[in-house]
């Protein structure tokens, strides 16, 4: 005889174990897909970072070359105005040293504050510092 349709439907419905197994399998596949996407994005980001760093290095080389050209032009100009070669070169060197000292002083103030201080202060529940007080402490 023909089977009862209610019995056939009940026999074909998966049980709780089968449903949980399928859920686990689908979850594992979803995590695998997201991980694969993250790896591809990280690879792309690394390639872009390498390209940016290469461009930055080339820009730095070109700027340094231009600076050296300006210094050489200044030395030649001073020599043309009657300044001796050694004195012209010494003046150019002193200007470079003064510029380097100014940049060093500026860089020292950039690193005087620890990184992520605002985040750490927020995580500790501390109140933000007064900007006037913080700038006074940096100049000491």
Residues 8-39: b if buried by 16+ CB within 10 A, e if exposed: eeeeeeeeeeeeeeeeeeeeeeeeeeeeeeee
Q: What is the mean pLDDT of the segment spanning 51-68?
A: 96
pLDDT at residue 112, rounded to an integer: 72
> Rounded to an integer, what distance in angstroms lies between the CA atom of residue 2 and that of residue 62?
88
User: pTM to 2 decimals?
Assistant: 0.54
- 72-113, pLDDT tens digit by residue? 999 999 999 999 999 999 999 999 999 999 999 998 887 777
* Residue 9 banded pLDDT, cuts 50, 70, 90: low
Query: Is the per-residue pLDDT at 123 higher than 70?
Result: yes
> Rounded to an integer, what distance in angstroms lies between the CA atom of residue 20 and that of residue 29?
14
82: left (phi over 0), alpha (psi -120 to 50) or beta: left
Q: Taking the alpha carbons of 119, 120, 126, 128 in that order, is the dihedral positive or negative?
A: negative
């Amino acid at each position: 005889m023909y089977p009862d349709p209610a019995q056939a439907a009940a026999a074909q419905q998966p049980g709780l174990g089968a449903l949980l197994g399928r859920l686990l399998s689908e979850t594992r596949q979803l995590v695998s897909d997201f991980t694969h996407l993250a790896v591809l994005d990280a690879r792309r980001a690394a390639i872009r970072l390498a390209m940016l760093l290469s461009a930055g290095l080339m820009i730095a080389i070109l700027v340094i070359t231009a600076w050296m050209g300006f210094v050489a032009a200044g030395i030649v100009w001073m020599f043309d105005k009657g300044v001796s070669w050694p004195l012209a070169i010494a003046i150019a060197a002193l200007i470079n040293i003064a510029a380097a000292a100014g940049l060093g002083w500026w860089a020292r103030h950039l690193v005087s504050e620890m990184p992520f201080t605002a985040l750490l202060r927020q995580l500790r529940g501390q109140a933000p510092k007064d900007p006037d007080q913080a700038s006074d402490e940096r100049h000491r």
